[in-house]
Amino acid sequence: MPRVSSDRALEDTRSYGRAAGLLTIALGSAGVLAYLFFAFASHSLSRDEYGEIVVLWSVVFVAASTLFRPIEQLLSRTLAEREQVGEDSGHVLRVAALIQVSLTVLALLALMVLRGPIQDNLLEGGDVLFWVLVVSLFGFGGAYYARGFLAGRRRFALYASLLVLEGLARLGFALAVAVGIAGGVDAVAIGIAVAPLAGLLVTPLAWRHRHSRPPVAPVKPVSADGAPSGRIEEPEFTLSRGGAFAAAVLVMMLSEQVIVGSGVLFVRAGEGAAAAGFIFNVLMVARAPLMLFQAIAASLLPHLTRLRARGDASGKEGFRMSVNTTLITIAGFATLTTLGVLAIGPEVMQLAFGEKFEYDRTGLAIVAVGMGCYLSAAALNQAALAQGQARRAALCWASCAVLFLAWNLVSPLDAFRSVEVGFAGAAALLSGLLYAIYSRPHPIAADTFEPDSPREIEARLATADEVA
């Protein structure tokens, strides 16, 4: 490989690392705020009340992430493309908004139709908790759209600010209960509803400066072998095209919530609300790093998207180096976390969440190992999306989610250990499957593109240097 290609690939990787690193530090505060929310809630509420908050949180985030994160990914990916080729993104924003509004309306209608079973069987009959669920989903519909816009435009500081505002708003209500200004489970729950609406306060600033970035010189599209095609393509972004990508990511998000979030609901069904609060605390060993990984994921997809589209040697090498650097960082972090929970995990958990529950080192270590595998899978998934392999990646996610469900329905171990082992096993299998896709892109006919077809153009994403 020529020296210039290697140097450019190294600079691409370093610039991505700087952007992702700065964003990770900024979003780390958001993760800490979420952690403090549950710590204050755990100390302030009874075991059963805390379990109700955990169940509500789980339902909100399973539904919101499943329904609305696909549009975040769609915008992040497509706006990066449009910016590079010098095309207007207004049509993209309108199509994505139409999809998001439709999903939000359908979700709210479904909640109203199913209000009785949800309120009586899942939320312990709490009328306030049900309306918190409704308002939360409405807010997250807008919040995930805003996140996709900010990530696609590489406005990572505002992206981080959005999440920090969410965390501060949520924490404020738990803190009010902790110091006695307010009281009861309803006051804590209201913070969950207010949080996404508070985060949207940054969007006027983002929209006002949406044209402030200097235009990027368009690049010629490349053919399947990486050679220039000789002309500039102008792919049409349609509702069908956007919906197809969003549908594949929808499967991924649903599967993600099954693997990460449904364990709480399995324990809730079999052991009660208090037990659900316990397993939720255990899974925080994985959830807290996942919140931090949002920073990497938000910058990784558009970064890899641009490198993939370049089609030259430096782009390919930069793509590989960026993925490898991310995986090595995750492996080091997961190793340190696992050693940490084996050494002082139970003591730290009781210090953080109170002495209502007793934690065992084995369970915490299993979840920590699973966390490392899951973060690796999440990074490899971004690489697969950048390679235009959303459908194949979605199949991997769905398969692992089905296996996780089957494992917990059979529940060969006790309810808690089944969730812990199931999470780690599903995460390990998922990371292996996605690595196979990443390392061997388009090996089957169903994933190949005809020359100059809309699907090939979709895979030919735009490239630009990341901001330092």
Contact 72, 151 (CB under 8 A): yes
Other beta carbons within 10 angstroms of residue 52's beta carbon come to 25
Reported as a single tens digit per residue, the pLDDT across 155-171 is 777 877 888 888 899 99
* DSSP single-letter state for residue 228: B
Reported as a single tens digit per residue, the pLDDT across 305-363 is 777 766 667 777 888 888 888 889 889 988 998 998 898 888 888 887 777 777 888 88
User: Would 228 be classed as within a structural domain?
Assistant: no
Domain count of the chain? Answer: 1
Residue 188 vs residues 42, 142, 445: alpha-carbon distances, Å:
11, 22, 52
Instruction: Provide the angle, in degrees to the nearest 10, between the axes of the packed helices 3-44 and 273-310.
Output: 160
Asked which of 255-269, 325-339, 439-453 is least confident by mean pLDDT, the reply is 439-453
The per-residue pLDDT for 273 is 73
**pTM for this prediction:** 0.65
User: Would 109 be classed as within a structural domain?
Assistant: yes
The per-residue pLDDT for 450 is 37
Instruction: Please name which of 88, 71, 92 lies closest in space to residue 146, comparing C-alpha atoms.
Output: 71
User: Quick one: average pLDDT of 233-256?
Assistant: 62
User: Would 230 be classed as within a structural domain?
Assistant: no
User: Quick one: average pLDDT of 396-406?
Assistant: 94
User: Would 216 be classed as within a structural domain?
Assistant: no
User: Would 299 be classed as within a structural domain?
Assistant: yes
Q: In this structure, is the dihedral angle defined by the CA atoms of residues 124, 125, 129 and 135, taken in order, positive or negative?
A: positive
As a whole number of angstroms, the distance between CA 404 and CA 264 comes to 13
User: Would 90 be classed as within a structural domain?
Assistant: yes
* Burial 104-121, CB ≥16 within 10 A → b, else e: beebbeebeeebeebbee
Residue 348 neighbours by CB under 8 Å, 6+ apart: 341
The per-residue pLDDT for 117 is 85
User: Would 365 be classed as within a structural domain?
Assistant: yes
Instruction: Please name which of 225, 179, 56, 191 lies closest in space to residue 129, comparing C-alpha atoms.
Output: 56
Asked which of 146-150, 205-209, 404-408, 428-432 is least confident by mean pLDDT, the reply is 205-209
Asked which of 165-174, 215-224, 318-327, 366-375 is least confident by mean pLDDT, the reply is 215-224
As a whole number of angstroms, the distance between CA 85 and CA 91 comes to 15
User: Would 241 be classed as within a structural domain?
Assistant: yes
Q: Show the domain range for 399.
A: 3-209+236-459
Q: Is residue 128 very low, low, confident or very high in pLDDT (cuts 50, 70, 90)?
A: confident
